[in-house]
Amino acid sequence: MATLDLNNVTTFIQLRPLAIGGALVMGLLYVIYLRALPKPLPGIPYDVESSRRLLGDLPHFFALEKSGRRIMEFWADVARRQRSPITQYFAGPFTKPVVIISDFRETKDLLMRRAKLLDHGSLNTGLWFGAIPHHFVGMPSSDPRYPKAKSLSNDLMTPSFLHNVSLPASYQKTLNFVNLWQLKARIANEQPFTALEDFNFLTGDIICAAALGILDEESDTVKHYNRLKTNNLSTGHPTKSNQVYPFPEYKATGILEATHTIADSITGARTASMPKLYWFFTNLRPSVSKAQKERTRILQTYIDRARDTVAKSGLSTSYRAAVDYIVSREIAAAKKESRLPALSSPEIHDSLFGYVLGGQSTTHSVLSFMIRRMAVRQDVQTKLRKELYTLYSSAASEKRNPTIHEFLAMHAPYLDAVIEETMRLNSTAPVLIREAMEDLDFLGRTIPKGTNIFCTLWGPSYDEPAIEVDEEVRSKSSQAHKEETPVDWTHSGFPPADFHPERWLRKDGKGNTVFDIKNGPTLGFGAGPRECWGKRLAYHELKLITTLLLWNFDFLPLPADLVDTDVVDFFVAKPKSCFVRLRSRVPEVQKK
Ligand code: HEM
């Protein structure tokens, strides 16, 4: 038997210190390399090549960008490539695999009926906590701070608060916008102009009116209008309908400007594999820290204004905006607990800022996608206007705008359908994110506890045929609700990729045409306990704006080079361009 000669070993160590050191370093590096490599979850399909490299699937993101496609296409692409409604991907060294699910019916079942098995997800909270750390959007539901943070906004989305406070405020701001466009329509004289920035002012105004009660003189729409009025611009010409009218640029100010800078910083967090590190450096950037300071300063002025109103008129229920409600509640709570009201608390600030941040870009996105289609789909525009003229027949015969009360009392099924169809084909978010709180049985595979789950919102089963799934592997609750499965449109007269609002309509028992959200796959606002908190407000505002814009303007066809279907991804998805060529339908609307 060979024996180890310690003398030889010692001599070797003395003579070859470099070789040994090198071998040890190499060994260590190899162990680190092995630990950094992706660790695929058993039984869930994945890209084998990606599993063999440190960067995992990241090269696929780079390839998408290089080929001019959106990197947000990635997740639906994985499902398509693997031909599986459940897949996984690897986001880089030392990260856990993320599961992707791409089946509408099972996603809805998981988010709504199996929600107890889920939480918000570390990748979800990682998006937000650096920007609004005290808002519930950046907290898992299991966070002890979550119930209190959420309770600050209780009641703000109730039908009565929306009808009595938020929507009347938004209505007035939309009329201001109609005035701006009446002026622009007159100047451009049927020449096209871009609507994207204008829509920022409009959605900024309506959200800030609902959240903060901004006054007209604080509105970017009104400031823009006043500046244009004094600009003495030459009138465009209808024969130049293929030339964009060069309106002078007007940039967002105040809270909207700060919101955009902070929203941009969240965009970067979406692809950061180490969110804490990302936020540490991002919040040090001068532009971001300036925007954070600015939003705090501006919000405090609205909080102080609300406090003064309460001091003058007492704790009242006649609020003008969300800030009045939040401030009144804090004052009442402080009184009860014999303490001073904490009116500068980060909780109150983030609660208000979350309202603006969550509401502005998203509403802007859907609105711009919808209006972009109006020029191309003259048939949809005509049908929609016909519905509005039938519903608001008194306003039509009296040649005035529908009032807010008329609007709130009306159901416009075709309008609902146009909004839903826009959101189905142009989702503002690329995916919904959750985390498995325990080992989760999903379509016959196991998603381990602690895994982040990305639910796609387009691709298979949304705007293209679903990937086939055996009924038996679906969850029990999914099987029990089989009758809720939406119609398969693949072989219908209107395939899933087409824009066809009628697919959301059906006849009710009395033969009336009604909008039915269950007709098709749609999760644009998410679902379950963490679905969009502002969904009701968003639907109302989109309906309100579309009604007043179609009432007041014809969206004329555009020259071919101003029509595109491109999408760019910021904080949320936006159309790359949105031009309008307007013809006024009624004389300039009076403000009151
Ligand atoms: C068309 C407009 C909007 C769209 C498409 C939209 C979309 C979404 C989506 C997809 C989510 C994630 C839901 C999930 O994970 O299940 C979400 C969450 C959220 N949205 Fe919206 N949203 C819109 C408008 C608004 C408005 C107007 C507000 C506030 C006034 C708002 C506030 C929020 C908040 C606070 C959350 C986080 C909910 C939570 O974490 O529990 N959103 N939204």
* pLDDT tens, residue by residue, 166-212: 999 999 999 999 999 999 999 999 999 999 999 999 999 999 999 99
**CA 81 to ligand 1 centroid distance, Å:** 30
CB 494 within 8 A of CB 502: yes
- Give the Cα-Cα-Cα angle 321, 326, 328 (nearest 5 degrees): 95
Alpha-carbon Rg for the chain, nearest whole angstrom, is 27
Tokens 């622009």: give the residue: 184
Which residues contact residue 205 at a Cβ distance below 8 angstroms, ignoring those fewer than 6 apart? 173, 176, 177, 214, 219, 220, 221
Alpha helices in 430-573 (DSSP H): 476-480, 535-552
State the pLDDT at residue 1. Answer: 47
CB 328 within 8 A of CB 310: yes
State the pLDDT at residue 22. Answer: 83
What residue segments make up the domains of the chain, in order of their start? 48-143+430-486, 159-429+538-584
Sheet architecture: strand order including 86-89 = 86-89, 98-101, 452-456, 431-436, 118-119
Residue among 110, 165, 362, 570 whose CB has most ligand 1 atoms within 8 A, to mutate: 362
The DSSP annotation for 267-295 comes to HHHTT-SSHHHHHHHHTTSHHHHHHHHHH
Nearest to 423 by CA among 341, 467, 362, 374: 362
Residue 553's DSSP bridge partners are 584
Closest Cα to atom 11 of ligand 1: 532
State the pLDDT at residue 18. Answer: 77
* CA 279 – CA 269 distance, rounded (Å): 8
**CA 429 to ligand 1 centroid distance, Å:** 9
Q: Is 36 helix (H, G, I), strand (E, B) or coil?
A: helix
- Nearest ligand 1 atom, CA 531: 16
The DSSP annotation for 498-539 comes to S--GGGGEEE-TTS-EEE-GGGS---TT--STTS-TTHHHHH
Candidates 1.10.630.10, 3.30.160.60, 3.30.70.260, 3.40.1710.10; CATH matching 159-429+538-584: 1.10.630.10
ipTM: 0.99
**CA 311 to ligand 1 centroid distance, Å:** 33
Who lines ligand 1 at CB under 6 A? Answer: 136-137, 354-355, 358-359, 362-363, 366, 428-429, 432, 524-527, 530-534, 537-538
Closest Cα to atom 42 of ligand 1: 534
- Taking 50 as the pLDDT cut, the residues of the chain under it are 1-2, 588-592
- Nearest ligand 1 atom, CA 530: 41
Q: What are phi and psi of 432, to 5 degrees?
A: -105, 140
- Nearest ligand 1 atom, CA 111: 16
**CA 522 to ligand 1 centroid distance, Å:** 14
State the pLDDT at residue 13. Answer: 63
State the pLDDT at residue 488. Answer: 83
Tokens of 297: 């300063």
State the pLDDT at residue 590. Answer: 45
Residue 514's DSSP bridge partners are 506
**CA 176 to ligand 1 centroid distance, Å:** 26
Residue 532 marked as a ligand binder: yes
